[in-house]
């Protein structure tokens, strides 16, 4: 980790910087508590008027601020969503304030496409990257949202697709910070692991009568250089303090984890009054409460019932089980659970089913976990049951699927019971 402190081209970092150093007062040292408090006050100054629901929501917002400052040097970066129970809560204003810090202007506001029409979203993404958009806000999201194209783009430093109006493919750097605003949003599929959501919750229901003591975007613009300096100073403070790390890692966002998540967690430990926590813990908790939680539980339970707990299988075997005519009930159980995520028309091969299963590897939902191991070029999957809460219902599903027996010609073979795991 190195600080680019002077304008011009740095051959070691392979970066060209154009800025006036006199506008910034970055500190590249370990800070005193008074200095750290000073920098925190500057970072939070434009956002003090927003009413966030919890301390976790505040941490997500600070993650977005740090990301806005550092996005251009990060290979990958999660998206951030700002949610509220009603219109007029300040979501769009919040997104605009974050964008002003990162770009000195309000973000491009893009109306969302249909969540089930990813081809349209894919085309929009290419246009966004070609335009060099630094901050993009998808505004007025309602209900569940999923986009495999955007989920893939968020974890890739480059984006490749056909250029609109031309018969050639383009590959371009992805340096865009994506924001979402909407009411009662839920992110499903891979998006639930790649979006951090903060919720605004105004104390007064009559939001139309609320007046900010100052304009957050104007204050952000006035203090922009100070805020950028303070964010970088906090990161440098973490570096010079021994780079103390909280456990775990946001594996899809390695550099972001190092330059955003870890310094914020250290800032929260150093200044408890900030209320800041660990963004990874918040992400894991949000995933467990995402809009597809119940559907995922149904999928993992049906896989365990039809194929067995801790039983290794490939996607091709699961697809065969869906189409197995020897057990119409079992076929229906698994097929219904799969079709909750992917339409019958789009499920044309075991590869399509494998792509679906990959989204849920190692995600723990009420003790059910889908594990995977790469073998001979493809994944082998199995369902672990770490708690007994769903064991009885899986056993009942298993009995329903096969009527407590497998019939092989005239011979009836009883099903073995699922071994009970000792707590």
pLDDT of 105 reads 92
State pLDDT tens for residues 277-324. 999 999 988 876 666 677 788 899 999 988 889 999 999 999 988 877
Q: Which of 333, 423, 313 is nearest to 373 (CA)?
A: 313
Cα within 13 Å of Cα(281), Cβ side: 12
Q: Phi/psi of residue 387, each to 5°?
A: -135, 160
- pLDDT the model gives residue 409: 40
Tens digit of each residue's pLDDT (9 = 90 or more) over 119-154: 777 878 888 998 889 999 998 887 778 888 898 899
Q: How high is the mean pLDDT of the chain?
A: 84
The average pLDDT across 387-408 equals 68
What are the beta bridge partners of residue 411? 408
> Token pair for residue 283?
């992400």
Q: With CA atoms as reference, report the closest residue to 192 among 180, 200, 201.
A: 180
pLDDT at 169: 72
Dig out the tokens for 388 from the structure: 């007994």
- Give the tens place of pLDDT for each residue, 172-217: 899 999 999 988 788 877 888 899 999 998 776 655 556 678 999 9
As a whole number, mean pLDDT of residues 240-260 equals 93
Residue 95, by phi and psi: left (phi above 0), alpha (psi -120 to 50) or beta? alpha
């Amino acid at each position: 980790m190195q600080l680019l402190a002077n304008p011009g081209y740095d051959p070691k970092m392979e970066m060209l910087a154009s800025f006036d150093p006199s506008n910034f007062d970055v500190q590249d040292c370990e800070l005193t508590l008074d200095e750290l408090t000073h920098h925190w006050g500057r970072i939070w100054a434009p956002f003090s008027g927003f009413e966030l629901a919890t301390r976790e929501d505040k941490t997500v917002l600070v993650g977005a601020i740090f990301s806005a400052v550092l996005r251009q040097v990060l290979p990958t970066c999660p998206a951030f969503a700002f949610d509220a129970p009603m219109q007029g809560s300040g979501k769009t204003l919040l997104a605009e304030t974050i964008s002003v810090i990162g770009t000195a202007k309000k973000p491009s506001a893009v109306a969302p496409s249909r969540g089930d029409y990813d081809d349209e979203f894919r085309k929009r993404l290419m246009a966004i990257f070609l335009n060099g958009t630094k901050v993009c806000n998808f505004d007025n999201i309602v209900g569940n949202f999923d986009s495999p194209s955007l989920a893939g783009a968020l974890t890739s430093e480059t984006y490749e697709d056909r250029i609109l109006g031309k018969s050639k493919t383009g590959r371009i750097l992805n340096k865009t910070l994506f924001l979402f605003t909407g009411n009662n949003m839920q992110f499903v599929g891979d998006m639930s692991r790649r979006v951090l959501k903060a919720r605004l919750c105004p104390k007064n229901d009559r939001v139309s009568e609320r007046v900010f003591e100052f304009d957050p975007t104007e204050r952000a613009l006035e203090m922009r250089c100070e805020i950028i300096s303070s964010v970088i100073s906090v990161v440098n403070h973490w570096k010079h303090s021994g780079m103390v790390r909280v456990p775990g890692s946001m594996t899809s966002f390695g550099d972001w984890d190092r330059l955003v998540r870890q310094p914020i967690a250290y800032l929260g430990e150093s200044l408890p009054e900030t209320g800041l926590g660990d963004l990874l813990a918040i992400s894991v908790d949000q995933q467990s409460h995402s809009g597809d939680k119940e559907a995922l539980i149904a999928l993992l339970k049906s896989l365990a019932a039809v194929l067995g707990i801790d039983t290794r299988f490939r996607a091709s075997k699961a697809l065969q089980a869906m189409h197995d005519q020897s057990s119409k009930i079992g076929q229906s159980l698994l097929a219904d659970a799969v079709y909750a995520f992917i339409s019958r028309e789009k499920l044309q091969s075991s590869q399509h089913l494998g792509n679906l299963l990959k989204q849920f590897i190692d995600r723990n939902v009420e003790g059910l976990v889908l594990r995977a191991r790469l073998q001979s070029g493809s994944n082998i999957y199995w369902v672990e049951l770490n708690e007994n809460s769903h064991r009885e219902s899986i056993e009942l599903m298993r009995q329903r699927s096969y009527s407590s027996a497998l019939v092989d010609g005239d011979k009836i073979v009883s099903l073995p019971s699922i071994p009970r795991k000792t707590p």
